[in-house]
Amino acid sequence: MKKNVRQLLMIPGPTQVPVEVLLAGAKPMINHRSKDFKAVFEYIIKTLQKFFQTKNDIFMLTSSGTGAMEACASNIIQPGDKILVATIGNFGNRFAKIAAAFGADVEKLSFDKGKPVDVKVLKERLAKDTKKEIKAVIFQQNETSTGVLNDVKSIAEVVRAHGALIVVDAISGFLAADLRTDEWGLDLVAAGSQKAFMVPPGLAFVSVSPKAWEVIEKTKGTSFYFNLKTAKEFAPNGETPWTPAVSTAFSMQTALKMLEEEGMESIFDRHRWLRDAVREGVRALGFKLMVEDDKYASPAVTAVIPSEGIDVEKFRSQVRSDYEVVLAAGQSELKGKIFRIGHLGYCDQKDILATFAAIEMTLKTMGYKVELGKSVKAVQESLLSKVKVAA
Amino acid sequence: MKKNVRQLLMIPGPTQVPVEVLLAGAKPMINHRSKDFKAVFEYIIKTLQKFFQTKNDIFMLTSSGTGAMEACASNIIQPGDKILVATIGNFGNRFAKIAAAFGADVEKLSFDKGKPVDVKVLKERLAKDTKKEIKAVIFQQNETSTGVLNDVKSIAEVVRAHGALIVVDAISGFLAADLRTDEWGLDLVAAGSQKAFMVPPGLAFVSVSPKAWEVIEKTKGTSFYFNLKTAKEFAPNGETPWTPAVSTAFSMQTALKMLEEEGMESIFDRHRWLRDAVREGVRALGFKLMVEDDKYASPAVTAVIPSEGIDVEKFRSQVRSDYEVVLAAGQSELKGKIFRIGHLGYCDQKDILATFAAIEMTLKTMGYKVELGKSVKAVQESLLSKVKVAA
């Protein structure tokens, strides 16, 4: 028998979506080559430019975030080009594969899981590239698989000094953490609708700097679907080259209005505030945080290493079946070793409180040692101590 | 002042979407790696197999139809491969460009606008390929830019005799006209959500025959996002490799249920019935049909050549502003010379009747010679004469 219980989606995307945004996506269909769509398109791009903190071109793609990564790679890579991927996890590794698929000579600069890119190491590597062979450096703003927030500003500084293109996969961290496209000189930035934008998946976004355009213009590029030169031709008419996900664009329009009203700084504060509460809750459970250093703790997702002896996948399944609280699994070799709590987008303090209460009760039901209320109290204290930040 | 008037979307996709389907897309977000999504995924694939009339694998992509075309091309093409594109218009030409983007040695076999692929000519071309260098033949089921329905069965017969892969872009014609994937031996078939499926844009589908798999397995393929081998790895778990357009999948699920209830034959009948009525209406207006031969007239879209002296773009704009009836423009060199009436998906006889009434009234308002009611009557007579087909 299916119980009528609201599900609490605590994964790092797709996130929960406000009903207003869901219903905006249910508006009647319109022609994607019309003044109606043009108005939606132009509002989205203009508002994204604010949130990307950029004057650069921004393009809207109908795809998942991985499509935006493919757009970045395929538009700048010619076979044989040297690309450096500074990877700290699964999504860094994915970007390396994408670059390789388009023929790049990919070098991976890998760092330990749970740690950010070591800027010193990156600097040393780039210093060795005296012939300036490295065409682009790719890295994540936020590594979703481990919950690490990179220091994008410092990484970008080092790459800028070298001269390579700066390509940032900001899909899971965008709007959860500050990202100053122009000030930090980011050439290509990828984002996706299903994260802090509070929108269903289906749209992805890429910003392109003038310096990136210089490279793109000279690059033949393989992908037809993700060709940014084609997107640039259609943009002045308020159109995408191919039929866009119109409904998701409606949702995006409504969500952006809600986010504009809240204001960017408040959105960042809110994410940090919830992150801090989650981290206190995890500590009070006696579990370990995959990211020990608060400075690099993701405001979008927290990776948790439960105490020894806890069957992580069984626990995830139980908290789902008993409370309809959905936690994310570990990815690749972290599967069964960690779980992840997404706290981005349309997530509030009530959700965090309920999640920790449910985690405690599930652990108790499963027979593990747990003090009911302890982690909830830690979450409460954290939330109250910083309430002004979010107010 | 914006008037509160319902818009009538008479373009060849995105089509009108039933409210039930729109609201299904507004359901709360779920984890895309969960039993919830698996159930949606499996229902969609299983039902699509019925409508594709195939036992082949079918994959769901988060993209527009052009993405499905890219998936077909990028998974079978190695640089230098010889690909024959039998093109009868804009979308045939687009597929040729996509194949070329992935390094194919593309040969275009072009036919006049408004005409289908001449099977005899194709047969002769293939007969000359004694060394069997042509790896695949690509063509449209339905050419959206001119409203031509190709004779897929006969084309496929000829290609099968040669041995090349048969790649069908069925995006705009799928479910509007019969397409027997297995019986006709179609290796790769592409479809999109925003056509006769009555679903918003954002999902595309590709079916893959065992023969196509043999080629795909041997092909390195450039695209990472559209890699079908990766999609095949994830499918048994009811997942897509990258985050799918979950909301559009909800809509697809609901629409497929409605379409299953109607039954495939009835869907085909309905589309033919409306097409015939549209054609009678156009004739009664004294306008010309771009596709003269009824046999090749698309059941999805009709291209209309208005009488000399009519400013087509001004007329389209006027019928939109006065009646909120949205007609499609001509594409490329046909822009300003034709307009197109979409009559696929969630389109019914009332829509066709209203469209012709509005066309007549607009022509009169604009000062062109027109007899009010004449084309409407022709539409009525056509609809009544074939009412049993659709009942």
CB contact under 8 A, B14 and A29: yes
Nearest CA in chain B to A13: B31
Tell me: the pLDDT tens digits for A243-261? Answer: 999 999 999 999 999 999 9
pLDDT at B81 over 60: yes
Nearest CA in chain B to A79: B222
Average predicted confidence (pLDDT) for chain A: 97
Tell me: the pLDDT tens digits for A283-293? Answer: 999 999 999 99
Name B327's bridge partners: B10
Nearest CA in chain B to A222: B101
- Residues sharing a CB contact under 8 Å with residue A182, sequence separation 6 or more, in sequence order: A53, A54, A55, A56
pLDDT at A1 over 60: no
Tell me: the pLDDT tens digits for A110-151? Answer: 999 999 999 999 999 999 999 999 999 999 999 999 999 999
Q: What does the pLDDT read at residue B387?
A: 64
Hey, of B35, B66, B243, B319, which one would you mutate to test binding to chain A, going by the most A CBs within 10 A of its CB?
Answer: B243
**Rounded to a whole number, what is the distance in Å from the CA of B180 to chain A's nearest CA?**
26
Nearest to A102 among B23, B222, B243 (CB): B222
Which amino acid type is present at position A57?
D
Hey, of A10, A11, A31, which one would you mutate to test binding to chain B, going by the most B CBs within 10 A of its CB?
Answer: A31
ipTM surpassing 0.90: yes
pLDDT at A231 over 90: yes
**Rounded to a whole number, what is the distance in Å from the CA of A120 to chain B's nearest CA?**
31
Nearest CA in chain A to B240: A64
**Rounded to a whole number, what is the distance in Å from the CA of A53 to chain B's nearest CA?**
26
Mean pLDDT of A66-71: 98
Report how far residue B352's alpha carbon sits from residue B367's, in angstroms, rounded to the nearest whole number.
Answer: 23
pLDDT at B151 over 60: yes
Q: What does the pLDDT read at residue A389?
A: 54
Q: What does the pLDDT read at residue A3?
A: 77
Mean pLDDT of B263-269: 97
Residues of B whose CB is below 8 A from A27: 22
pLDDT band at A387 (very low <50, low <70, confident <90, very high): low
Question: What number of other Cβ atoms are within 10 A of residue B183's Cβ?
Answer: 12
Report how far residue A56's alpha carbon sits from residue A315's, in angstroms, rounded to the nearest whole number.
Answer: 45
Region for A81 from its dihedrals, namely left if φ exceeds 0, alpha if ψ lies in -120 to 50, beta otherwise: beta
CB contact under 8 A, A14 and B98: no
Q: What does the pLDDT read at residue A391?
A: 47
Measured in whole angstroms, how far is the alpha carbon of residue A143 from the centre of its chain? 8
Q: What does the pLDDT read at residue B386?
A: 82
Residues of A whose CB is below 8 A from B341: none
Nearest to A245 among B7, B15, B201 (CB): B201
**Rounded to a whole number, what is the distance in Å from the CA of B120 to chain A's nearest CA?**
31
Tell me: the pLDDT tens digits for B194-228? Answer: 999 999 999 999 999 999 999 999 999 899 999 99
Residues of A whose CB is below 8 A from B22: 25-28, 247
CB contact under 8 A, A192 and B98: no
Report how far residue A260's alpha carbon sits from residue A347's, in angstroms, rounded to the nearest whole number.
Answer: 17
CA B314 to each of CA A32, B10, B287, B329, B364: distance values in angstroms, whole numbers, following the listed order: 19, 17, 16, 11, 13
CB contact under 8 A, A11 and B31: yes
Nearest CA in chain B to A32: B14
- Residues sharing a CB contact under 8 Å with residue A188, sequence separation 6 or more, in sequence order: A72, A76, A136, A165, A166, A167, A168, A206, A207, A208, A209, A212
**Rounded to a whole number, what is the distance in Å from the CA of A338 to chain B's nearest CA?**
16
Look up the pTM and report it. Answer: 0.96
CB contact under 8 A, A242 and B64: yes
Give all domains of chain A, ordered by start, each with its CATH number. Answer: 8-14+264-390 (3.90.1150.10), 19-261 (3.40.640.10)
Residues of B whose CB is below 8 A from A23: 26
CB contact under 8 A, B62 and A65: no
Cβ-count burial of B195 within 10 angstroms (0-12 exposed, 13-18 middle, 19+ buried)? buried
Contact between residue A192 and residue B243 where contact means Cβ atoms under 8 Å apart: yes
Report how far residue B205's alpha carbon sits from residue B252's, in angstroms, rounded to the nearest whole number.
Answer: 11
Contact between residue B249 and residue B31 where contact means Cβ atoms under 8 Å apart: no
CB contact under 8 A, B243 and A65: yes
Q: What does the pLDDT read at residue B391?
A: 47
Q: What does the pLDDT read at residue B389?
A: 54
CB contact under 8 A, A248 and B34: no
Taking one residue from A and the other from B, the number of pairs with CB-CB distance under 8 angstroms is 203
CB contact under 8 A, A14 and B223: no
Nearest to B202 among A27, A226, A245 (CB): A245
Average predicted confidence (pLDDT) for chain B: 97
Nearest CA in chain B to A71: B225
Tell me: the pLDDT tens digits for B177-200? Answer: 999 999 999 999 999 999 999 999
Cβ-count burial of A29 within 10 angstroms (0-12 exposed, 13-18 middle, 19+ buried)? buried
Cβ-count burial of B368 within 10 angstroms (0-12 exposed, 13-18 middle, 19+ buried)? middle
Report how far residue A273's alpha carbon sits from residue A267's, in angstroms, rounded to the nearest whole number.
Answer: 10
Q: What does the pLDDT read at residue B1?
A: 56
Mean pLDDT of A41-63: 98
pLDDT at A297 over 60: yes
Region for A155 from its dihedrals, namely left if φ exceeds 0, alpha if ψ lies in -120 to 50, beta otherwise: alpha
**Rounded to a whole number, what is the distance in Å from the CA of B247 to chain A's nearest CA?**
6
Mean pLDDT of B321-337: 96
pLDDT at B361 over 90: yes
CB contact under 8 A, B241 and A66: yes
Q: What does the pLDDT read at residue B170?
A: 98
Helices B264-285, B374-385: crossing angle, 10 deg rounding: 150
Measured in whole angstroms, how far is the alpha carbon of residue B217 from the centre of its chain? 28
Tell me: the pLDDT tens digits for A346-378? Answer: 999 999 999 999 999 999 999 999 999 999 999
Tell me: the pLDDT tens digits for B282-308? Answer: 999 999 999 999 999 999 999 999 999
Report the greatest alpha carbon distance in chain B: 66
Residues of A whose CB is below 8 A from B231: none
> C-alpha angle A343/A305/A141, rounded to 5°?
45
pLDDT band at A341 (very low <50, low <70, confident <90, very high): very high
CB contact under 8 A, B70 and A223: yes
Task: Name the helix (H) or strand (E) containing A37.
Answer: helix A35-52
CB contact under 8 A, A101 and B222: yes
